[in-house]
Amino acid sequence: MREASVFTVLTAALVISWARKMSVPCSLSARFKGSFAYFTVKDRLPQILTKVIDTVHRTKSAFLEEYGEEGIEAEKKALAAFSKLRNELHTDKPLLLLMDNLPDTELWNQYLEHQQSLLSENDQPSWFKSPWLYVECYMYRRIHEGIVLSPPLCSFDVFKEVKNESFFQSQQAIIALCTYLQELAKKIKDVGEEQLKEEFFKLLQVSLWGNKCDLSISAGQDNSQKSSPLASLTDLQSCILVNDTDHLWTVLSHGMKMRSSQASVSRVDIVLDNAGFELVTDLILADFLLASKLATEIHFHGKSIPWYVSDTTKSDFQWTIQQLRAANHRWMSKCGSNWDSNLKKEVWLYHDHLFWTLPHEFCKVAQVAPDLYTELQKSDLILFKGDLNYRKLTGDRKWDFTVPFSQALNRFHPAPLCSIRTLKADIQVGLKCGQGEQLTSSEPTWMISGQYGVIQFSALI
Protein backbone atom coordinates (compact mmCIF):
# COMPACT_ATOMS: atom_id res chain seq x y z
CA MET A 1 0.00 0.00 0.00
CA ARG A 2 2.76 2.38 1.06
CA GLU A 3 4.77 1.52 -2.08
CA ALA A 4 1.71 2.11 -4.23
CA SER A 5 1.14 5.60 -2.82
CA VAL A 6 4.81 6.55 -3.24
CA PHE A 7 4.48 5.39 -6.83
CA THR A 8 1.30 7.44 -7.29
CA VAL A 9 2.94 10.58 -5.86
CA LEU A 10 5.99 10.13 -8.08
CA THR A 11 3.86 9.59 -11.16
CA ALA A 12 1.78 12.68 -10.37
CA ALA A 13 4.95 14.74 -9.90
CA LEU A 14 6.29 13.53 -13.24
CA VAL A 15 3.02 14.34 -15.00
CA ILE A 16 2.96 17.83 -13.47
CA SER A 17 6.55 18.55 -14.46
CA TRP A 18 5.90 17.18 -17.98
CA ALA A 19 2.75 19.33 -18.29
CA ARG A 20 4.71 22.36 -17.12
CA LYS A 21 7.37 21.69 -19.73
CA MET A 22 4.86 21.16 -22.52
CA SER A 23 2.38 23.94 -21.76
CA VAL A 24 3.01 27.22 -23.48
CA PRO A 25 2.56 30.52 -21.66
CA CYS A 26 0.12 33.18 -22.87
CA SER A 27 0.93 35.62 -25.68
CA LEU A 28 2.29 39.12 -25.13
CA SER A 29 -0.56 41.56 -25.64
CA ALA A 30 -1.56 45.21 -25.20
CA ARG A 31 -4.15 43.98 -22.71
CA PHE A 32 -1.27 43.99 -20.20
CA LYS A 33 -1.22 47.69 -19.37
CA GLY A 34 2.25 49.14 -18.95
CA SER A 35 3.87 46.41 -21.09
CA PHE A 36 5.93 47.22 -24.18
CA ALA A 37 3.11 45.70 -26.25
CA TYR A 38 0.67 48.18 -24.71
CA PHE A 39 3.01 51.11 -25.35
CA THR A 40 3.53 49.94 -28.95
CA VAL A 41 -0.14 49.60 -29.79
CA LYS A 42 -1.04 52.83 -27.97
CA ASP A 43 1.78 55.07 -29.21
CA ARG A 44 4.26 53.53 -31.66
CA LEU A 45 1.85 52.03 -34.19
CA PRO A 46 -0.28 55.20 -34.51
CA GLN A 47 2.96 57.18 -35.00
CA ILE A 48 3.97 54.86 -37.84
CA LEU A 49 0.53 55.23 -39.43
CA THR A 50 0.76 59.01 -39.20
CA LYS A 51 4.09 58.86 -41.06
CA VAL A 52 2.52 56.64 -43.72
CA ILE A 53 -0.28 59.19 -44.20
CA ASP A 54 2.28 61.97 -44.45
CA THR A 55 4.35 60.05 -47.03
CA VAL A 56 1.36 59.37 -49.28
CA HIS A 57 0.30 63.01 -48.98
CA ARG A 58 3.79 64.27 -49.87
CA THR A 59 3.94 61.99 -52.91
CA LYS A 60 0.75 63.52 -54.39
CA SER A 61 2.50 65.51 -57.12
CA ALA A 62 4.55 62.46 -58.17
CA PHE A 63 1.32 60.46 -58.46
CA LEU A 64 -0.19 63.26 -60.55
CA GLU A 65 2.83 63.33 -62.81
CA GLU A 66 2.84 59.56 -63.28
CA TYR A 67 -0.86 58.73 -63.49
CA GLY A 68 -2.65 62.06 -64.03
CA GLU A 69 -6.01 62.64 -62.29
CA GLU A 70 -6.34 58.91 -61.65
CA GLY A 71 -3.25 59.19 -59.42
CA ILE A 72 -4.89 61.96 -57.37
CA GLU A 73 -8.05 59.91 -56.92
CA ALA A 74 -5.96 56.93 -55.81
CA GLU A 75 -4.05 59.11 -53.33
CA LYS A 76 -7.33 60.26 -51.77
CA LYS A 77 -8.56 56.68 -51.55
CA ALA A 78 -5.36 55.45 -49.87
CA LEU A 79 -5.41 58.38 -47.42
CA ALA A 80 -9.00 57.64 -46.48
CA ALA A 81 -8.12 53.96 -45.88
CA PHE A 82 -5.16 54.86 -43.63
CA SER A 83 -7.09 57.47 -41.62
CA LYS A 84 -9.85 54.92 -41.05
CA LEU A 85 -7.26 52.34 -39.98
CA ARG A 86 -5.69 54.81 -37.52
CA ASN A 87 -9.10 55.54 -36.08
CA GLU A 88 -9.90 51.82 -35.66
CA LEU A 89 -6.62 51.40 -33.82
CA HIS A 90 -7.10 54.43 -31.54
CA THR A 91 -10.59 53.36 -30.53
CA ASP A 92 -9.80 49.63 -30.17
CA LYS A 93 -12.32 48.59 -32.81
CA PRO A 94 -12.75 44.90 -33.76
CA LEU A 95 -10.29 43.64 -36.37
CA LEU A 96 -11.88 43.35 -39.82
CA LEU A 97 -11.67 40.80 -42.61
CA LEU A 98 -9.36 41.69 -45.51
CA MET A 99 -11.08 42.50 -48.79
CA ASP A 100 -8.27 42.54 -51.31
CA ASN A 101 -8.33 39.03 -52.76
CA LEU A 102 -4.58 38.50 -52.73
CA PRO A 103 -3.03 35.01 -52.47
CA ASP A 104 -2.79 35.32 -48.66
CA THR A 105 -6.18 37.01 -48.01
CA GLU A 106 -7.93 33.75 -47.18
CA LEU A 107 -5.19 32.74 -44.72
CA TRP A 108 -5.47 36.10 -42.92
CA ASN A 109 -9.24 35.83 -42.73
CA GLN A 110 -9.02 32.26 -41.42
CA TYR A 111 -6.57 33.49 -38.78
CA LEU A 112 -9.10 36.12 -37.67
CA GLU A 113 -11.78 33.42 -37.43
CA HIS A 114 -9.40 31.31 -35.37
CA GLN A 115 -8.75 34.23 -33.00
CA GLN A 116 -12.50 34.73 -32.75
CA SER A 117 -12.98 31.05 -31.88
CA LEU A 118 -10.71 31.50 -28.85
CA LEU A 119 -13.04 34.15 -27.38
CA SER A 120 -16.49 33.99 -25.88
CA GLU A 121 -19.41 34.72 -28.20
CA ASN A 122 -19.86 38.37 -27.30
CA ASP A 123 -16.19 39.21 -27.54
CA GLN A 124 -14.25 40.10 -30.72
CA PRO A 125 -10.54 40.22 -31.60
CA SER A 126 -9.35 43.83 -31.31
CA TRP A 127 -6.17 45.91 -31.21
CA PHE A 128 -5.74 46.08 -27.45
CA LYS A 129 -7.14 42.65 -26.59
CA SER A 130 -5.62 40.29 -29.18
CA PRO A 131 -2.02 39.00 -29.22
CA TRP A 132 0.46 41.77 -29.95
CA LEU A 133 2.24 39.78 -32.68
CA TYR A 134 -1.05 39.35 -34.52
CA VAL A 135 -2.28 42.95 -34.35
CA GLU A 136 1.10 44.42 -35.25
CA CYS A 137 1.43 42.17 -38.33
CA TYR A 138 -2.21 42.94 -39.15
CA MET A 139 -1.49 46.69 -39.23
CA TYR A 140 1.22 46.24 -41.89
CA ARG A 141 -1.04 43.93 -43.90
CA ARG A 142 -3.87 46.51 -43.74
CA ILE A 143 -1.45 49.20 -44.97
CA HIS A 144 -0.74 46.92 -47.91
CA GLU A 145 -4.45 46.43 -48.49
CA GLY A 146 -4.96 50.23 -48.50
CA ILE A 147 -2.39 50.54 -51.29
CA VAL A 148 -3.58 47.52 -53.29
CA LEU A 149 -7.17 48.77 -53.25
CA SER A 150 -6.03 52.15 -54.57
CA PRO A 151 -4.99 51.39 -58.14
CA PRO A 152 -2.81 52.45 -59.91
CA LEU A 153 -0.67 52.86 -56.74
CA CYS A 154 -0.61 49.06 -56.22
CA SER A 155 3.18 48.72 -56.25
CA PHE A 156 3.92 51.87 -54.20
CA ASP A 157 6.11 51.09 -51.17
CA VAL A 158 5.19 53.60 -48.43
CA PHE A 159 8.46 52.86 -46.60
CA LYS A 160 10.84 52.95 -49.59
CA GLU A 161 11.94 56.54 -48.96
CA VAL A 162 13.03 55.94 -45.34
CA LYS A 163 14.72 52.65 -46.22
CA ASN A 164 16.78 54.31 -48.94
CA GLU A 165 17.67 57.24 -46.66
CA SER A 166 18.91 54.87 -43.99
CA PHE A 167 21.20 53.23 -46.57
CA PHE A 168 22.69 56.59 -47.59
CA GLN A 169 23.11 57.71 -43.98
CA SER A 170 25.27 54.65 -43.28
CA GLN A 171 27.68 55.25 -46.18
CA GLN A 172 30.84 55.59 -44.08
CA ALA A 173 30.16 52.39 -42.17
CA ILE A 174 29.36 50.57 -45.43
CA ILE A 175 32.64 51.76 -46.99
CA ALA A 176 34.55 50.53 -43.93
CA LEU A 177 32.96 47.07 -44.20
CA CYS A 178 33.40 46.71 -47.97
CA THR A 179 37.06 47.72 -47.67
CA TYR A 180 37.62 45.24 -44.84
CA LEU A 181 35.96 42.44 -46.81
CA GLN A 182 37.97 43.06 -49.98
CA GLU A 183 41.23 43.11 -48.03
CA LEU A 184 40.27 39.87 -46.35
CA ALA A 185 39.34 38.35 -49.73
CA LYS A 186 42.88 38.96 -51.03
CA LYS A 187 44.44 36.81 -48.31
CA ILE A 188 41.67 34.34 -47.58
CA LYS A 189 43.34 31.36 -49.27
CA ASP A 190 46.33 31.63 -46.93
CA VAL A 191 44.38 32.12 -43.73
CA GLY A 192 44.65 29.26 -41.20
CA GLU A 193 41.71 27.70 -39.37
CA GLU A 194 42.13 29.78 -36.17
CA GLN A 195 42.15 33.08 -38.05
CA LEU A 196 39.25 32.01 -40.24
CA LYS A 197 37.27 31.32 -37.08
CA GLU A 198 38.17 34.75 -35.71
CA GLU A 199 37.06 36.48 -38.91
CA PHE A 200 33.80 34.52 -38.86
CA PHE A 201 33.16 35.60 -35.27
CA LYS A 202 33.84 39.21 -36.21
CA LEU A 203 31.54 39.34 -39.23
CA LEU A 204 28.80 37.50 -37.37
CA GLN A 205 28.91 40.16 -34.65
CA VAL A 206 28.83 42.92 -37.26
CA SER A 207 25.66 41.32 -38.64
CA LEU A 208 24.24 41.10 -35.10
CA TRP A 209 24.81 44.77 -34.30
CA GLY A 210 23.55 45.69 -37.77
CA ASN A 211 20.16 44.70 -36.36
CA LYS A 212 20.16 47.78 -34.11
CA CYS A 213 19.35 49.81 -37.24
CA ASP A 214 15.68 48.97 -37.73
CA LEU A 215 13.26 51.76 -38.50
CA SER A 216 10.24 50.24 -36.81
CA ILE A 217 11.62 50.75 -33.30
CA SER A 218 12.45 54.40 -34.11
CA ALA A 219 9.14 54.92 -35.97
CA GLY A 220 11.07 55.77 -39.14
CA GLN A 221 13.54 58.24 -37.53
CA ASP A 222 17.22 58.11 -38.52
CA ASN A 223 18.66 55.04 -36.85
CA SER A 224 21.66 54.49 -39.10
CA GLN A 225 25.20 53.28 -38.40
CA LYS A 226 27.61 56.23 -38.60
CA SER A 227 30.96 54.84 -37.47
CA SER A 228 32.86 51.69 -38.43
CA PRO A 229 31.12 48.80 -36.71
CA LEU A 230 34.37 46.82 -36.58
CA ALA A 231 35.98 49.25 -34.13
CA SER A 232 33.44 48.71 -31.36
CA LEU A 233 33.13 44.90 -31.41
CA THR A 234 35.34 44.25 -28.39
CA ASP A 235 33.48 46.75 -26.22
CA LEU A 236 30.15 45.26 -27.25
CA GLN A 237 31.05 41.67 -26.46
CA SER A 238 29.72 41.83 -22.91
CA CYS A 239 26.33 42.87 -24.32
CA ILE A 240 25.89 39.52 -26.07
CA LEU A 241 23.77 37.70 -23.51
CA VAL A 242 23.81 34.30 -25.21
CA ASN A 243 26.70 33.62 -27.55
CA ASP A 244 26.56 30.25 -29.32
CA THR A 245 29.04 31.22 -32.05
CA ASP A 246 31.22 28.21 -31.19
CA HIS A 247 28.34 25.87 -32.08
CA LEU A 248 27.84 27.63 -35.40
CA TRP A 249 31.52 27.31 -36.13
CA THR A 250 31.36 23.59 -35.37
CA VAL A 251 28.46 23.09 -37.81
CA LEU A 252 30.09 25.11 -40.59
CA SER A 253 33.67 23.88 -40.25
CA HIS A 254 32.50 20.27 -39.92
CA GLY A 255 30.50 20.74 -43.14
CA MET A 256 33.56 22.18 -44.86
CA LYS A 257 35.76 19.22 -43.84
CA MET A 258 33.14 16.62 -44.83
CA ARG A 259 32.68 18.35 -48.15
CA SER A 260 36.32 18.33 -49.11
CA SER A 261 36.16 14.54 -48.93
CA GLN A 262 32.73 14.13 -50.57
CA ALA A 263 32.41 17.22 -52.83
CA SER A 264 28.83 18.02 -51.72
CA VAL A 265 26.94 21.26 -51.08
CA SER A 266 26.79 23.25 -47.84
CA ARG A 267 23.73 25.40 -47.79
CA VAL A 268 23.18 28.35 -45.42
CA ASP A 269 19.82 30.12 -45.37
CA ILE A 270 19.51 33.70 -44.08
CA VAL A 271 16.02 34.83 -43.16
CA LEU A 272 16.60 38.53 -43.65
CA ASP A 273 15.36 41.41 -41.58
CA ASN A 274 16.02 45.09 -42.32
CA ALA A 275 17.18 46.78 -45.51
CA GLY A 276 19.79 49.57 -45.28
CA PHE A 277 22.88 48.99 -43.15
CA GLU A 278 21.73 45.68 -41.68
CA LEU A 279 21.23 44.12 -45.12
CA VAL A 280 24.77 45.14 -46.12
CA THR A 281 26.16 43.42 -43.00
CA ASP A 282 24.25 40.25 -43.96
CA LEU A 283 25.57 40.35 -47.51
CA ILE A 284 29.10 40.84 -46.18
CA LEU A 285 28.69 37.77 -43.97
CA ALA A 286 27.24 35.78 -46.89
CA ASP A 287 30.16 36.80 -49.10
CA PHE A 288 32.64 35.68 -46.43
CA LEU A 289 30.88 32.30 -46.02
CA LEU A 290 31.32 31.59 -49.73
CA ALA A 291 34.84 32.99 -50.06
CA SER A 292 36.05 30.97 -47.06
CA LYS A 293 34.25 27.87 -48.40
CA LEU A 294 32.36 27.50 -45.14
CA ALA A 295 29.28 27.40 -47.39
CA THR A 296 28.78 26.79 -51.09
CA GLU A 297 25.26 28.19 -51.47
CA ILE A 298 23.42 30.99 -49.68
CA HIS A 299 19.64 31.30 -49.80
CA PHE A 300 18.18 34.65 -48.74
CA HIS A 301 14.56 34.96 -47.62
CA GLY A 302 12.93 38.40 -47.81
CA LYS A 303 9.44 39.84 -47.52
CA SER A 304 6.96 39.89 -50.38
CA ILE A 305 5.30 43.13 -49.22
CA PRO A 306 6.52 46.26 -47.32
CA TRP A 307 6.78 45.14 -43.69
CA TYR A 308 7.67 46.57 -40.26
CA VAL A 309 8.92 49.77 -41.94
CA SER A 310 12.43 48.65 -42.84
CA ASP A 311 12.20 44.94 -43.73
CA THR A 312 13.86 43.85 -46.96
CA THR A 313 11.75 43.23 -50.06
CA LYS A 314 13.03 41.90 -53.39
CA SER A 315 13.16 45.43 -54.73
CA ASP A 316 15.24 46.60 -51.69
CA PHE A 317 17.58 43.64 -52.15
CA GLN A 318 18.18 44.39 -55.83
CA TRP A 319 18.36 48.15 -55.24
CA THR A 320 21.03 47.73 -52.56
CA ILE A 321 23.26 45.59 -54.78
CA GLN A 322 22.84 48.01 -57.67
CA GLN A 323 23.67 50.99 -55.41
CA LEU A 324 26.88 49.30 -54.36
CA ARG A 325 27.75 48.36 -57.94
CA ALA A 326 27.29 51.92 -59.11
CA ALA A 327 29.10 53.50 -56.13
CA ASN A 328 32.02 55.80 -56.63
CA HIS A 329 34.10 53.89 -54.15
CA ARG A 330 36.32 51.11 -55.51
CA TRP A 331 35.60 48.49 -52.84
CA MET A 332 31.92 49.26 -52.60
CA SER A 333 31.48 48.76 -56.31
CA LYS A 334 33.64 45.61 -56.23
CA CYS A 335 31.31 44.16 -53.60
CA GLY A 336 28.27 45.16 -55.68
CA SER A 337 29.54 43.48 -58.84
CA ASN A 338 30.67 40.32 -56.99
CA TRP A 339 27.25 40.02 -55.38
CA ASP A 340 25.51 40.57 -58.67
CA SER A 341 27.54 37.79 -60.21
CA ASN A 342 26.84 35.48 -57.22
CA LEU A 343 23.16 35.89 -58.03
CA LYS A 344 23.75 35.22 -61.71
CA LYS A 345 25.79 32.12 -60.91
CA GLU A 346 23.01 31.04 -58.54
CA VAL A 347 25.32 30.52 -55.60
CA TRP A 348 23.18 33.24 -54.00
CA LEU A 349 19.43 32.78 -54.33
CA TYR A 350 16.64 35.10 -53.24
CA HIS A 351 13.21 33.81 -52.13
CA ASP A 352 10.16 35.65 -50.78
CA HIS A 353 7.51 33.23 -49.57
CA LEU A 354 4.28 34.84 -48.37
CA PHE A 355 4.48 32.94 -45.07
CA TRP A 356 7.01 35.49 -43.76
CA THR A 357 4.32 38.18 -43.80
CA LEU A 358 1.59 36.14 -42.14
CA PRO A 359 0.90 36.54 -38.40
CA HIS A 360 1.67 32.89 -37.59
CA GLU A 361 4.45 31.82 -35.28
CA PHE A 362 7.11 29.68 -36.94
CA CYS A 363 6.04 26.42 -35.30
CA LYS A 364 3.12 26.59 -37.75
CA VAL A 365 5.24 26.66 -40.95
CA ALA A 366 4.92 22.92 -41.62
CA GLN A 367 1.14 23.14 -41.38
CA VAL A 368 0.50 26.50 -43.12
CA ALA A 369 3.30 26.51 -45.71
CA PRO A 370 4.55 22.91 -46.16
CA ASP A 371 6.43 23.90 -49.35
CA LEU A 372 8.49 26.43 -47.38
CA TYR A 373 9.14 23.92 -44.61
CA THR A 374 10.44 21.37 -47.14
CA GLU A 375 12.71 24.05 -48.60
CA LEU A 376 14.08 24.97 -45.15
CA GLN A 377 14.77 21.30 -44.42
CA LYS A 378 17.33 21.33 -47.23
CA SER A 379 19.46 23.80 -45.29
CA ASP A 380 22.55 22.94 -43.26
CA LEU A 381 22.08 26.04 -41.13
CA ILE A 382 19.35 28.69 -40.99
CA LEU A 383 20.20 32.15 -39.64
CA PHE A 384 17.18 34.14 -38.49
CA LYS A 385 17.95 37.84 -38.39
CA GLY A 386 16.29 40.32 -36.08
CA ASP A 387 13.78 40.85 -33.38
CA LEU A 388 10.54 40.04 -35.16
CA ASN A 389 11.93 36.68 -36.31
CA TYR A 390 12.84 35.95 -32.68
CA ARG A 391 9.31 36.79 -31.59
CA LYS A 392 7.92 34.43 -34.23
CA LEU A 393 10.43 31.69 -33.38
CA THR A 394 9.42 31.76 -29.73
CA GLY A 395 5.72 32.42 -30.37
CA ASP A 396 5.92 35.89 -28.70
CA ARG A 397 4.96 34.43 -25.35
CA LYS A 398 5.62 35.23 -21.72
CA TRP A 399 8.32 32.59 -21.32
CA ASP A 400 10.51 32.46 -18.22
CA PHE A 401 14.02 33.70 -18.96
CA THR A 402 15.56 30.29 -18.25
CA VAL A 403 13.34 28.21 -20.55
CA PRO A 404 15.64 26.52 -23.10
CA PHE A 405 15.52 28.04 -26.60
CA SER A 406 14.71 24.67 -28.18
CA GLN A 407 11.66 24.36 -25.90
CA ALA A 408 10.39 27.83 -26.85
CA LEU A 409 10.72 26.85 -30.53
CA ASN A 410 7.80 24.54 -29.86
CA ARG A 411 8.93 21.76 -32.24
CA PHE A 412 10.01 24.09 -35.06
CA HIS A 413 13.22 22.39 -36.17
CA PRO A 414 13.53 22.16 -39.95
CA ALA A 415 17.36 22.29 -39.70
CA PRO A 416 20.00 23.52 -37.23
CA LEU A 417 19.07 27.14 -36.68
CA CYS A 418 20.32 30.30 -35.02
CA SER A 419 18.70 33.59 -34.06
CA ILE A 420 20.88 36.69 -34.43
CA ARG A 421 18.94 39.44 -32.75
CA THR A 422 19.25 42.64 -30.74
CA LEU A 423 16.60 42.79 -28.03
CA LYS A 424 13.74 45.14 -28.91
CA ALA A 425 10.76 43.34 -27.40
CA ASP A 426 10.22 42.03 -23.88
CA ILE A 427 10.85 38.40 -24.59
CA GLN A 428 14.00 36.40 -23.96
CA VAL A 429 14.68 32.73 -23.29
CA GLY A 430 17.74 30.57 -22.66
CA LEU A 431 19.35 32.80 -20.02
CA LYS A 432 21.26 31.57 -16.99
CA CYS A 433 19.48 31.41 -13.67
CA GLY A 434 19.18 34.95 -12.24
CA GLN A 435 20.68 36.65 -15.33
CA GLY A 436 17.38 38.21 -16.50
CA GLU A 437 16.41 39.36 -12.99
CA GLN A 438 19.81 40.94 -12.46
CA LEU A 439 19.57 42.87 -15.73
CA THR A 440 16.04 44.00 -14.88
CA SER A 441 17.21 45.50 -11.61
CA SER A 442 20.29 47.21 -13.05
CA GLU A 443 18.87 48.27 -16.44
CA PRO A 444 15.08 48.22 -16.56
CA THR A 445 14.98 48.76 -20.37
CA TRP A 446 17.47 46.02 -21.30
CA MET A 447 14.87 44.07 -23.30
CA ILE A 448 13.71 46.92 -25.53
CA SER A 449 16.68 49.25 -25.94
CA GLY A 450 18.50 47.31 -28.71
CA GLN A 451 21.70 47.55 -26.61
CA TYR A 452 21.82 43.81 -25.94
CA GLY A 453 21.96 40.94 -28.38
CA VAL A 454 21.93 37.17 -28.70
CA ILE A 455 23.45 34.65 -31.07
CA GLN A 456 21.28 31.74 -29.99
CA PHE A 457 21.58 28.31 -31.59
CA SER A 458 19.47 25.17 -31.59
CA ALA A 459 20.85 21.99 -33.10
CA LEU A 460 17.75 19.83 -32.66
CA ILE A 461 16.11 18.62 -35.87
Residues that bind Mg ion (CB under 5 A): 214, 273-274, 308, 311
> How far apart are CB 31 and ligand F6P at their closest, in Å?
16
In the complex, what is the shortest distance from the CB of residue 181 to ligand F6P, in angstroms, rounded to a whole number? 23
Task: For residue 388, give every residue at least 6 positions away whose Cβ sits within 8 Å of its Cβ, in sequence order, or none.
Answer: 273, 308, 311
Query: Which of ligand F6P, Mg ion, none is residue 132 near (CB under 5 to 8 Å by kind)?
Result: none
Of 460, 459, 391, which Cα lies nearest the Cα of 429?
Answer: 391
- Min separation Cβ 282 and ligand F6P, Å: 12
Nearer to Mg ion, 308 or 362 (CB): 308
Q: Are residues 209 and 453 in contact, defined by beta-carbon separation less than 8 angstroms?
A: yes
Out of Mg ion, ligand F6P, none, what residue 217 binds, judged by CB under 5 to 8 A for its kind, is ligand F6P
From the list ligand F6P, Mg ion, none, partner contacted by residue 40 (C-beta under 5 to 8 A by kind): ligand F6P
- The burial class, CB within 10 Å (0-12 / 13-18 / 19+), for 38 is middle
**In the complex, least distance from residue 399 CB atom to ligand F6P, rounded to whole angstroms:** 15
Minimum distance, C-beta of residue 102 to ligand F6P, in the bound complex (Å): 23
**How would DSSP label each residue in 58-82?**
HTHHHHHHHHTHHHHHHHHHHHHHH
Using the minimum distance from each CB to ligand F6P, give the nearer residue, 64 or 354: 354
Nearer to ligand F6P, 327 or 382 (CB): 382
Residues 6 or more apart in contact with residue 451 via CB below 8 angstroms: 239, 422, 423
| CA distance linking residue 29 with residue 127, whole number of Å | 9
Query: What separation in angstroms does the CA of 252 have from each of 41, 79, 247, 316, 323?
Result: 40, 49, 9, 28, 31
Of 274 and 458, CB closest to ligand F6P: 274
The answer to whether 408 and 35 have CB atoms below 8 angstroms apart is no
CB of 312 to Mg ion, least distance (A): 8
CB atoms within 10 A of CB 276: 28
Q: Which is nearer to ligand F6P, 86 or 391 (CB)?
A: 391
Comparing CB distances to Mg ion, the nearer of 167 and 308 is: 308
d(CA 59, CA 74): 11
Sign (positive or negative) of CA dihedral 136, 138, 140, 142: negative
Residue 380's binding partner among ligand F6P, Mg ion, none (Cβ under 5 to 8 angstroms by kind) is none
- Return residues touching ligand F6P (CB under 6 A): 40, 44, 136, 211, 214, 216-217, 273-274, 308, 386-388, 391, 424-425
Distance from C-alpha of 369 to C-alpha of 322, rounded to nearest angstrom: 31
First to last CA, the chain: 44
Residue number, 137 or 252, with CB nearest to Mg ion: 137
Minimum distance of Mg ion from residue 360's CB (angstroms): 17
**Residue 104 touches which member of ligand F6P, Mg ion, none, C-beta under 5-8 Å by kind:** none
322-349 in b/e form (b: 16+ CB < 10 A) is ebbbebeeebbbbbbebbbebeeeeebe
Of 197 and 391, which CB lies nearer to Mg ion in the complex structure? 391
CB of 137 to ligand F6P, least distance (A): 9
Rounded distance between C-alpha atoms, residue 65 and residue 309, angstroms: 26
